């Protein structure tokens, strides 16, 4: 079996603290390292479209809505796991780039609706292709059956941590 950097870390703890069970680090540290590596790959894939990862996140939330590609800023913030203040700043930047528009909702003057522009839709459509291609390349050596099992295990971990 091929060994990675985490195996070395676990071996070192086994020598230094032999009675301590560090097996959970085998999962957690690998997930953390994978997150960093995948984040870097995603940034590289999106760079060719002139997008930062956060910009893609907002645009893709809107793109997945279908129809008018519009939703309240508070819901976008929730989907992106951001505060409404942080989302306001991000929307400002996307408006400046003409990737989204913003307007007050007729039903609630305090609510702001954000809509994907035609330009924003073109950009995010191209970006999702690059993002998907990169994801497929990242998983190319993992058989489909193993991908499903990995996805299920990661889902369990995510649900556990969200609760």
CA–CA dist 61, 86 (Å, integer): 16
What integer pLDDT is reported at residue 84 of this predicted model? 85
In a domain, 160, yes or no: no
- pTM of this structure: 0.84
Return the pLDDT at 107: 79
Burial 84-96 (b: 16+ CB within 10 A, else e): eeebeebbeebee
Q: Is residue 110 part of a domain?
A: yes
149 in any annotated domain:
no
- Domain total in the chain: 2
> Would you write out the chain's pLDDT as a tens digit for each of its 163 residues?
899 999 999 999 999 999 999 999 999 999 999 999 999 999 999 999 999 999 999 999 999 999 999 999 999 999 888 888 889 999 999 999 999 999 987 877 778 999 999 999 999 999 999 999 999 999 999 999 999 999 999 999 999 998 8
Residues 36 and 66 in one domain: no
Strands 112-116 and 100-104: antiparallel
* 71 lies in the same domain as 92: yes
Q: Are 28 and 77 contained in the same domain?
A: no
- Predicted local distance difference test score (pLDDT) of residue 158: 93
Q: Tokens 């997150």 belong to which residue? A: 35
Q: Are 71 and 106 contained in the same domain? A: yes
CB-based burial of residue 61 (10 Å sphere; 0-12 exposed, 13-18 middle, 19+ buried)? buried
| Domain assignment present for 85 | yes
Using CA atoms, how far apart are residues 117 and 126, in angstroms rounded to an integer?
Answer: 14
Distance between CA atoms of 111 and 59, rounded to whole angstroms? 19
* Confidence at residue 46, expressed as pLDDT on a 0 to 100 scale: 96
Range of the domain at 19: 1-47
List of residues 6+ apart from 14 with CB closer than 8 A? 22
Coil, helix or strand for 79?
A: helix
Query: Which residue carries 């930062």 as its tokens?
Result: 52
Token pair 């645009």: residue:
59
Handedness of CA 150, 5, 18, 1 (dihedral sign): positive
């Amino acid at each position: 079996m091929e060994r990675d950097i985490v195996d070395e870390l676990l071996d070192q703890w086994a020598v230094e603290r032999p009675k301590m069970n560090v097996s959970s680090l085998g999962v957690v540290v690998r997930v953390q390292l994978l997150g960093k590596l995948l984040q870097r790959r995603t940034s590289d894939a999106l760079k060719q479209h002139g997008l930062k990862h956060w910009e893609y996140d907002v645009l893709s939330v809107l793109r997945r809505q279908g129809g008018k590609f519009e939703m309240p800023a508070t819901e976008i913030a929730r989907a992106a796991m951001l505060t409404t203040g942080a989302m306001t700043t991000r929307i400002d930047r996307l408006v400046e780039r003409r990737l989204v528009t913003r307007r007050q909702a007729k039903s609630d003057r305090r609510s702001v609706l954000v809509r994907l522009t035609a330009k924003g839709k073109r950009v995010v459509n191209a970006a999702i292709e690059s993002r998907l291609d990169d994801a497929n390349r990242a998983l190319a050596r993992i058989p489909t059956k193993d991908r499903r099992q990995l996805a299920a295990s990661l889902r369990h971990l995510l649900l556990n941590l969200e609760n």
